[in-house]
Structure 1
Amino acid sequence: MNGLRVTSLLVATMLTGLVAGVYAIYANAFMPGLAKTDDKTFISAFTAVDRAIVNPLFLGLGFFGALVFTALAGLLGLKEKSLPWIAVAFVLTLIGIIVTMAVNVPLNDAMKAAGDPNTIDVHAVRAAFDESKWRTYNLVRTWTQIGSFALLGWALYLTGKSAAQP
């Protein structure tokens, strides 16, 4: 059971770090780069990336997998000193998922539903997208995931420290 507990905590930490990294790349490179483009390029590039990231590997393993493995690590470590850290990490990851599903995904979907950038009013669609709102909530989910990653890292440290004690 100890091996499964440690493995689930390690996987939760890695997946959480992966998701934090994806959000951070959006915040630090992707969205600032797109902000400098014309409306048609913005819509074309953003929707292409959004369609590409909605895949089983990222959604199933990374996005939801981080939450599932964090829950599993907590359940398997109910009597461990690391449990409070894992529990808060779970809550932060859940907040990130809720923000994504409540804010970012609806904005993404509305832009995709507008249609082909060659046939729509790209200026109106980009304005309706509300880049500022999307970026603000992306920062929220970025920081919740970074916090979760840090807490899971601390939980791993505590787990290793407990294992090393006689």
Structure 2
Amino acid sequence: MNGLRVASLMAATMTTGLVAGVYASYANAVMPGLAKTDDKTFVGAFQAVDRAIVNPLFLGLGFVGALLFTLLAGLLSLTEKALPWIAIAFVLYLVTMILTIAINVPLNDAIKAAGDPNTIDVAAVRTAFDEAKWRTFNLIRTILGTVAFGLLSWALYVTGKSAVQP
């Protein structure tokens, strides 16, 4: 049971870190880079990137996996000193998922549904997309995801420290 507990905590930490890193990449590179492009480039590039990220590896193993691994780690750590850190990380990561599903995904879906950038009013689509709103909520996801990753890292430390103490 100890091996499964540690393995699930490691998987939770790694997948949460992966997703937090994706959010941070959008916050620090993707969106600032796209902000400097013309409307047609913005719409086309955003559509292409969003279609690419919607894949089983990222969505299944990363995005959903992080929550499930954290839940499993918490359930296997009910009597452990690391439980509070795991529980808080779970809640913070769950909030990132809720924000993603409630705010970022509908904006993503709307820009994808707008159609081919060669045949639509790209300026209107970009305005309707509301970059500021998307970026604000992505920054919140980035911060919460990074804190969750840090808490899970601390939980790993606490777990390891507990294992070597008499």
Q: Shorter chain as normaliser: what TM range?
A: over 0.9
Amino acid at match of 1:72: L
Give unpaired runs (5+ residues) of structure 2: none
Count of aligned residue pairs for this structure pair: 166
Supply the distance in 2 between the matched residues of 1:66 and 1:143 (Cα, whole angstroms): 16
- How far apart, CA to CA, are the structure 1 residues paired with 2:77 and 2:137? 32
Matches within 5 A, 1:66-85: 66-85=66-85
Tell me by how many angstroms 1:26 deviates. 0.2
TM-score under structure 1 normalisation? 0.99
SS in 1 for 2:162: helix
Q: Which residue of 1 aligns with 2:122?
A: 122
Map residues 30-41 of structure 1 onto 2, 5 A cutoff: 30-41=30-41
Structure 1 runs, 4 residues or longer, greater than 6 Å off: none
Please give the per-residue CA displacement for 1:67-112, whole angstroms capped at 9, x wherever unaligned: 0000000000000000000000000010000000000000000011
TM-score computed with the length of structure 2 as normaliser = 0.99
Find the counterpart in structure 2 of residue 59 from structure 1.
59
Mapped partners of 1:58, 1:127: distance in 2:
28
Alignment match, 2:100: 100
Provide the identity percentage: 77
- Tell me how far 1:61 sits from its aligned partner: 0.2
Distance 1:11 1:122 in 2: 41
RMSD after superposition: 0.3
1:141 is aligned to: 141
CA distance in 2, matches of 1:63, 1:47: 19
Matched AA of 2:77: G
Q: Distance in 2 between matches of 1:111 and 1:15?
A: 27
CA distance in 2 between counterparts of 1:113 and 1:3 reads 46
